[in-house]
Chains A and B, each alone.
Chain A
Amino acid sequence: MVLKITLGILLTAVIVFGIGLPMSPHPQAWYELPVIPGLEEKARIIFFHVPTAWLSVVAFLTSMWYAIRYLRSRDLAYDIRSSAAAGLGLMFCILATVTGAVWAKFNWGSYWNWDPRETSIFVLLLIYGAYFSLRSAVEVEEKRATLSSAYSIIAAVTVPFFIFIMPRIMPGLHPGSKGDPEGAGPVVDFKMSPNMRVIFFASLIAFTLLFQWMFSLRVRAAKIEAHNRQRG
């Protein structure tokens, strides 16, 4: 209950302030966001696009975590959690790709540029796709759980190559790429003013709570489904 109320307040605040606050070239009052040359109003995407991309990675790691737990305990409840997290991850991954592509059309001129980060989100989409096609190919529950857990762990150990290494050694358009005047590195300084920073981190927290809530709903639904299937 507390979770839902906090989530409601946080998300409403992020949407209202993220979209509604005016932008001015010389921000004076606390509610004025700075204008970033070259981005202008388009800078607002950072409040929504970055959290979805962040969640698609968090979901992926959650899925891997429960995959490890499953392999250690062989308890199918963990497999339900693992696949529920992967399903949510796929959804947020699609959201991040679509919002990013639409934004890129207006800011960088085309929907897709094969920038290293675009490559990495594409690979994440492929991994989720492969994970679910593997799951649909195996009918025996235990076998499906074991094989898909193994695949998600193997995929997880190669993902850091995309998220942390590839974008640093290849030139690209996103902040933090090689050749960025602000410096390439895992910690990206977004050039955000303090009030933008507050909205940004509030949004990250809100989206994470949203994930938490959706995840528990999905797990409960999947458990009821499994229970019903057992009773015939």
Chain B
Amino acid sequence: MPPGKPRPGSLLRSVRTVFLKDWRSELRTRYAVSALLMFVITTIAIILFSLGSESASADALSGMLWVVIFFASMSGLSRTFVMEEERGTTLTLQLAAPPAAVFFGKLLFNLVLVTGINAVTVLLYALFINGFVIRTMSIFVVTVVLGSIALAAASTVIAAIIARANTKGTLYPVLSFPIMLPLLLSVIEATRKASEGAFFAEAGGEFQLLISYIVVVVVSSSMLFEYIWKD
């Protein structure tokens, strides 16, 4: 616990500072963005090659979209924390900002990153994959937005664990997959409903599940982060 109670509003300000710091250093190298983009392009190309002239069912294609998104996130989202360890800036950041500010700053950064990448992925996927049709746009948009938030929430705390374990990402998908499975199952189900043209209300169960998942994961990881972050 940092000595003295921080003034309300000062936490928000440090969250913003941490976010801006990551944002600027990302703009300088564009490492995460370019790695993620290339990953998405490569994966979609592989899907196109493996499909050849065959056409897969809309069911399979709506599931495959989330395979691309899941592994793309796994390739780039651990960056925010691993970077600090690699540069040796972890200690400085521990001194400069309270753990909650670091966590929410990084969460915000991952959220922006994953939302942007998902938007590009969905666009590319819809352009290049034949047979992928969305009949209920409203379900699909809400699914992608909620799915992005949930992905960012779960991946941020696992990234913090991975960075402290010094394993550089080999364990990242292994640790993330079981945690993310409720989210993956419900977004795949909701996307399937969107491509079948179900009514908006029919995907209500999936949305409730996603929202409660986001709340549970964000609350518990913000409580645990302090223990992970400080030695």
- What is A's interface to B at a CB cutoff of 8 Å? 71, 119, 123, 126-127, 129-130, 133-134, 137-138, 142-143, 146-147, 149-151, 153-155, 157-158, 161-162, 165-166, 169
Contacts and interface: CB of A to CB of B under 8 A. Distances in A.
B73 to A, nearest CB: 16
Nearest to A72: B227
A142 B231 CA distance: 9
Given A130-B175, A146-B228, A158 B164 contact: no
Contacts of A166: 182, 185
Contacts of B175: 130, 133-134, 151
Given A126-B178, A143-B164, A166-B185, A153 B213 contact: no
Given A146-B164, A151-B175, A161-B209, 12 more contacts: A119-B181, A123-B181, A126-B178, A127-B179, A130-B175, A133-B175, A134-B165, A147-B228, A158-B179, A161-B182, A169-B205, A169-B209
A150 B224 contact: yes
B177 interface: yes
B157 A134 contact: no
Contacts of B178: 123, 126-127, 130, 155, 158
22 contacts: A119-B181, A126-B178, A130-B175, A133-B174, A134-B165, A142-B231, A143-B164, A146-B164, A150-B224, A150-B227, A150-B228, A154-B157, A154-B217, A154-B221, A155-B178, A157-B220, A158-B179, A158-B213, A161-B209, A162-B182, A165-B182, A169-B209
Contacts of B181: 119, 123, 126, 158, 162
Contacts of B161: 134, 147, 150-151
A137 B227 contact: no
Given A134-B171, A143-B164, A154 B227 contact: no
Given A134-B161, A134-B175, A143-B164, A153 B182 contact: no
Interface in B138-157: 157
B83 interface: no
Contacts of A147: 161, 164-165, 228
Contacts of B217: 154, 157-158
Contacts of B224: 71, 150, 153-154
B216 interface: yes
Interface in B193-217: 205, 209, 213, 216-217
B130 interface: no
